[in-house]
């Protein structure tokens, strides 16, 4: 894309210029949670999505249950949590948002 726009900056430089959006004080009512890889086989992260607004809410630096539980504690309000079947996610929800309804995919 940089070549098409005739920009001399590379992808690494452009990524450094991005600023993170403001994270809301409360979790969205319907929170989507999914793991992804920053670097295949090495570094994983967790993306949190407002399912109703179809917007990324936050990106966590790892996929540890402690990190997600801390985020849920700091951002209360999630009533429904859509997630995969990762045990780390289950543990975090049970610990930090026990009243939330969990919806897991296959």
pLDDT grade, residue 77 (50/70/90)? very high
Distance between CA atoms of residues 24 and 6, nearest Å: 36
- Tens of pLDDT, residue by residue over 41-51, are 778 889 999 99
Cβ-Cβ contacts under 8 Å for 8 (sequence gap 6 or more) = 2
User: Which pLDDT score is estimated for 34?
Assistant: 92
22 pLDDT band, cuts 50/70/90, is confident
Look up residue 87 and give its two tokens: 């045990």
Q: Percent of the chain, pLDDT > 70?
A: 92
Residue with tokens 């630096």: 61
User: Looking at residue 29, what is its pLDDT?
Assistant: 96
Other Cβ atoms closer than 10 A to 48 = 22
Domains defined along the chain, listed by start: 24-104 (3.30.420.10)
Q: Indicate the helix (H) or strand (E) that contains 57.
A: strand 55-60
**Per-residue pLDDT band at 100 (split at 50, 70, 90):** very high
Rounded (5°) CA angle 42-51-86: 40
pLDDT at 96: 94
Phi and psi for 60 in degrees, rounded to 5? Answer: -90, 145
pLDDT band at 80 (very low <50, low <70, confident <90, very high): very high
> Residue 40 CA to chain centroid, in angstroms?
17
């Amino acid at each position: 894309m940089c070549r098409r726009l005739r920009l001399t900056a590379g992808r690494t430089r452009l990524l450094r210029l991005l600023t993170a959006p403001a994270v809301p004080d409360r979790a969205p009512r319907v929170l989507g949670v999914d793991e992804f890889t920053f670097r295949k086989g090495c570094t994983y992260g967790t993306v949190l999505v407002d399912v109703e607004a179809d917007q990324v809410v936050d990106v966590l630096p790892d996929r540890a249950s402690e990190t997600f539980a801390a985020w849920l504690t700091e951002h209360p309000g999630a009533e429904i949590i859509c997630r995969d079947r990762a045990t780390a996610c289950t543990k975090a929800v049970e610990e930090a948002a026990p009243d939330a309804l969990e919806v897991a995919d296959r």
